Amino acid sequence: MKRIISIFTALIILLNTTSCDKDSLEKQPLDQYADTAVWNDAALIQTFINNAYRGLGHGFNNVMFSTFGDESMAVWGPGTNITKSLVNPSDLSDWGGDRASYFLWENVYKNIRACNLFFDKIDGAASVDAALKDRYKGEMHFIRAYLYHNLVAVYGGVPIIDKSYGLNENYAVPRDSYEKCIKFITDECDKAAALLPLNYDAANLGRATKGGALALKARTLLYAASDLYANPTWAKGFANPELISIVGGDRKARWLAAKNAAKAVMDLGVYSLYKPNPASLEEASKNREQLFLSKQSPEDIHVRFFLAKLDNDGAWPGRSNGPNGYHNWGGNTPLGQLVDDYEMKDGTRFDWNNPVHAANPYKNRDSRFYSDILYEGAKWAVRPADVREKDPNGIIQVGYWEKWNAGSNSIDVVAGLDTRKGPIEDWNGTYSGYYLKKFMDPTVEAQFFRTEVPWRFFRYTEILLNYAEACIGLGDETEAKQYLNMIRKRAGMPDITETGTALVKRYQNERRIELAYEEHRYFDVRRWMIAPQTFGNARGVEVRYKLNPDKTTATQPTVKVIEVQDRAWNERAYFLPIKLDEINKNNKLIQNPLY
């Protein structure tokens, strides 16, 4: 079975080496493949390509990208140097592990080398026919483009390496300009799109398609048209602005290129919004929940699949992020900033200063709030057997109950099951008073079992949002609102009607909510240059059922906004620094500004 899933056969490729031991030349290691063996065996070539997909990673790691921005907070530590803008060339903090490692210089270039090796060898592979070679080339062009996209998104311009270096070659190469990198990535996407099919049979789902290549091109060009890459003045006299921006040129042309690239995906006619016409807010919320639990949907452009039964590789989003009162780790918990940006159901902003909102903050909200966020009093999954007696109804408990103790003539405070002081797990759990619901399958007891919820690299809604943003950049506001309101209709929300700066803000918030936790926000706040406004201290809520004057406990909680993590913004954090080790190995590299 060829389907791309989370576990790929490990492939170790060793070039032939010499040895002073003649006998060793006659022995083939049992756990390795010789170079000639791989490129003359069709099955090993396919395995090599399958393994290359692993270089893209996926977003269901223990520490998700959401935690590096104003979406969530990882509960396993009180803070991170990333959210405090303290990363430096000698200490990249959490970039060394989990999801962020797939964007790290040395790791990405290792995977790029595998792509380059493929292109060096594939034409000489007699075991693969011409048509299949072309498809394989398309897949590898897509993978190489995605890898460079990851690098450029965090570093700016990087050295473009399109061959596999051998021993004793000169490895010292300079960074290419940001603009040249964007052209390389989009050219790779075009090559991939020309060679790839629109879709596959069931056995090959998960491989790159024409739509996936064009979607990557659309995202790349949208980023390139954004404010960050047109305005390097924040870099305070950086001598090489071409590494972090497009110097000169016609910005309107860049917005038009981004619009056309998104339209090219739309014009394929193979993708559509999932259940675009709900009959109610409740139905809209349920539809969204189902979308992210489904294995396939009409929105899927490029997806990574998983098998729950495989233990040594893959995703475990439920265990990583599920509430600790279910024996899970309560990992990347939503911040108050994200929760507060879910609108009221009438399209107005939620506001803690509004006494009606503050009195019942989880009532009458955007339908997506109820599909994405677990909050005090939310009904969710059946509790594990050993907890069920304490909560037979599966109600999230992140609050504290004040109860009168007549014996001691004092107030006892009883912690909810899903708090950090609860009776189930008191070593983890939320600081913010919220848990993630999006991607979480309530039918799976996540402390023991993985799910088969796929990671969606690209889905059609992003393309519509990309198109709308490019339209706004070009001044085509009516067209932009047409597509924005298609997305809002699917959520059961009223139309956006604003213009000008107000429209930009509404668009940015719509993208924030619709694509929450899908690895967009970290990059969006930077390319829009709104990071200084979003990197304030992380907020959450303290939920308390207070003691009434008659010494009974209130049935309606008081919800108070609190700060849960110190954060700070420094403008150097627009880009990641290149590690000193890399600069010491390559004296032609120029460090990013302000490091």
Q: Return the pLDDT at 276.
A: 98
- Sign of dihedral through CA atoms 369, 371, 375, 378? positive
Strand partners, 471: none
Residue spans of beta strands (DSSP E) within 439-574: 455-459, 538-545, 558-565
Q: Return the pLDDT at 315.
A: 83
Residue 255 neighbours by CB distance under 10 Å: 23
Residue 514 neighbours by CB distance under 10 Å: 23
- Sign of dihedral through CA atoms 56, 58, 64, 65? positive
- Give which of 543, 535, 544 is closest to 565, Cα–Cα: 535
Tell me, rounded to whole angstroms, the distance of Cα 184 from its chain centroid: 23
N- to C-terminal Cα separation, the chain: 48
Give dist(CA 289, CA 307) in Å, integer. Answer: 20
| pLDDT averaged per 10 residues in sequence order, the chain, 595 residues | 38 35 46 73 95 95 94 82 94 88 96 97 94 98 98 98 87 96 98 98 96 98 98 93 96 98 98 98 98 97 87 79 95 97 98 97 98 98 97 98 96 97 92 97 92 95 98 98 98 98 98 98 98 96 98 97 96 97 96 97
Angle between helices 105-121 and 130-155 (to 10 degrees): 160
CA angle 55, 57, 63 (to 5 degrees): 140
Paired sense of beta strands 455-459 and 33-34, if any: unpaired
Give dist(CA 213, CA 194) in Å, integer. Answer: 9
pTM: 0.93
Q: What is the DSSP string of 145-180?
A: HHHHHHHHHHHSS-----S---TT-----PPPPHHH
Say which amino acid occupies 557.
P
Torsion of CA 338, 339, 344, 349, to 10 degrees: -40
| Both tokens assigned to 429 | 């759990």
For the purposes of burial, counting CB atoms within 10 Å of the CB of 367, is it exposed (0-12), middle (13-18) or buried (19 or more)? buried
How many secondary structure helices (H) and strands (E) does the chain include? Answer: 18, 12
- Sign of dihedral through CA atoms 331, 336, 342, 344? positive
Non-local (6+) Cβ contacts of 260 within 8 A are: none
Non-local (6+) Cβ contacts of 271 within 8 A are: 211, 265, 298, 299, 300, 301, 460, 463
Non-local (6+) Cβ contacts of 248 within 8 A are: none
Q: Return the pLDDT at 310.
A: 63
- Give which of 69, 7, 121 is closest to 332, Cα–Cα: 69
Residues listed for the chain = 595
- Give which of 157, 155, 221 is closest to 188, Cα–Cα: 221
DSSP class of residue 365?
B
CA angle 282, 285, 291 (to 5 degrees): 140
Strand partners, 559: 543
Give dist(CA 190, CA 145) in Å, integer. Answer: 10
Give dist(CA 331, CA 317) in Å, integer. Answer: 9
